[in-house]
Amino acid sequence: MSFVFRTARARTTPLAMRLAQRQPIVIRTTQFRTAATKAKASSSSTKKAGPIPANTRSDVSSIISTIKTIFFSGALAVVAYGGFMAVTDTRFSTFHRYVVVPAIRYLFPDGEEAHHASTLAMKKMGELGINIRERGNPDREGDLAVEIFGETLWNPIGTSAGIDKSAEVPDELLALGGSYVEVGGIVPEPQEGNAKPRLFRVVSQNALINRFGLNSEGADRVAQRLRERVQAYAKKVGLGSGAAAEQAVLNGETGVPPGSLVSGKLMGVQIGKNKETADDIESVVNDYVTCVNKLGRYADVIVVNVSSPNTEGLRDLQAQGPLTRILSEVTKAAQKIERKTKPKVIVKVSPDEDSQEQVSGICQAIYDSGVDGVIVGNTTKQRPNPAILPDEEKHILNETGGYSGPQLFPRTVALVGKYRETLDKEAERTGAGKKVVFGSGGITNGRQALEVLKAGADMVQVYTA
Ligand SMILES: Cc1cc2nc3c(=O)[nH]c(=O)nc-3n(C[C@H](O)[C@H](O)[C@H](O)COP(=O)(O)O)c2cc1C
């Protein structure tokens, strides 16, 4: 009974206060000894057994109470440690899904604010070393390992562009367990993007509509951040600081890919064009090449974005002529990067330009320019049937922007299959090597990931749901 009472009190009184209120154990022990000695002396002088003095009883109970406090604090520390290990482990996804996500939605009614707050939290947790991560090696047998771009990756799962537009948390994203992280899209000059609000939740469908419009801090700022990251890594592994150390890391001298800085993983850097850039192909090409020159040395993979639905005219660049030109120039620029191994180049396409004619034109551009593959695909301008939405959400479908989320899944499977078939036919016809296909759009679980892989993808990327 007394234990129950003390435990309840201990729970409601902060540990620090309780400890501050106590006398140091040593003093109390001395008092006990003194009391005990006095008692002994008195008993030996009278030679009579009597009741234990009151102050001795109180000292004994004080010690018992101290032991209980220590025990309770220890138990609390174990529980806190266990809790910390659980909530920072990706395998405790039930907690993240059913507690963290609803809490963030509640605290931040605006989706973009929620995104920034989450990114900041990831960054701060990363700095303190308490970021969420995959612990241990759940795939000891290497069953999930895949070979992409000559690298053996841990698994064929990655995250999509738009999660970390300015490369603030690539390491924290890589720690989540996937083998591929794509930062960006980044454009040459800083640009605000479209007016806010520009991100809308379709909660009942776990979906989003966004019209960010490639908001970006610009290539210089992001390149600076990536440079500092490489230099910090060089210092950490004992190469020292400065340009020589940075170059050594980028040349692969530490045995890790120069982008991800983690063996068995890759980092893509996605590039685009500024909204204000003139429409002529020279200006457009110049934007992409500028990005390659500034950012390419920090990338394992350069991703050419010609498919965001929120930059006017961008998707027109998927026509075979301009696309071949852009991809050829990007490939040439990538080959000139001062680094032992050059970054691979892939292009991210839209799921809306999906006729066989359009797909064939893009595949032709991929082969003619010599890029290494394709990401299929970006957000869609299409909308699901409003009938599946509750009445209070139907109006959200009228927002302009790209739709993402589970409803994209069947189209992703179909389009990945179409690209795989068309690319492979071209490979056969020309005798050129096979191209890599990444699948993105509505992939929400392992079964779906497998389905997209079976349809012909080498890697799947996740974002919205
Ligand atoms: C808020 C938001 C921002 C995005 N930004 C980009 C971007 O900058 N570049 C890009 O290629 N795709 C961007 N995407 C598209 C995703 O990378 C992904 O291709 C798309 O959301 C489909 O996948 P999902 O259904 O798994 O989200 C963005 C998506 C969202 C939801």
DSSP type of residue 99: I
For 160, counting Cβ atoms within 10 Å of its Cβ (0-12 exposed, 13-18 middle, 19+ buried), the class is buried
Confidence at residue 11, expressed as pLDDT on a 0 to 100 scale: 39
Per-run averaged pLDDT (10 residues), the chain, 465 residues: 34 41 40 44 50 81 89 88 82 88 95 97 95 86 94 97 98 97 98 98 97 98 98 97 96 97 97 97 98 98 96 94 98 98 98 96 97 98 96 97 98 98 96 96 97 98 97
pTM, two decimals, is 0.86
Confidence at residue 399, expressed as pLDDT on a 0 to 100 scale: 98
407 lines ligand 1 (CB under 6 A): no
Per CATH, the number for 145-462 is: 3.20.20.70
Q: How far is the CA of 337 from the centre of ligand 1 (A)?
A: 27
Among the listed residues 308, 350, 369, 440, the single catalytic one is: 308
160 lines ligand 1 (CB under 6 A): yes
Confidence at residue 48, expressed as pLDDT on a 0 to 100 scale: 53
Q: Which atom of ligand 1 is nearest to the CA of 404?
A: 25
Instruction: Residue 375: name the closest of 355, 350, 348 by CA.
Output: 348
363 lines ligand 1 (CB under 6 A): no
Q: How far is the CA of 404 from the centre of ligand 1 (A)?
A: 7
350 lines ligand 1 (CB under 6 A): no
Confidence at residue 330, expressed as pLDDT on a 0 to 100 scale: 98
159 lines ligand 1 (CB under 6 A): no
Q: How far is the CA of 211 from the centre of ligand 1 (A)?
A: 10
Confidence at residue 58, expressed as pLDDT on a 0 to 100 scale: 84
Per the annotation, the verdict on 308 as an active-site residue is: yes
- The helices-and-strands tally (H runs, E runs) of the chain is 16, 13
CB 300 within 8 A of CB 344: yes
Confidence at residue 437, expressed as pLDDT on a 0 to 100 scale: 98
Residue 309 CB neighbour total at 10 angstroms = 21
Question: What are the domain boundaries of the chain?
Answer: 2-50, 145-462
d(CA 358, CA 368): 15
Q: Which atom of ligand 1 is nearest to the CA of 210?
A: 1
Residue 433 CB neighbour total at 10 angstroms = 9
CB 191 within 8 A of CB 216: yes
d(CA 158, CA 288): 24
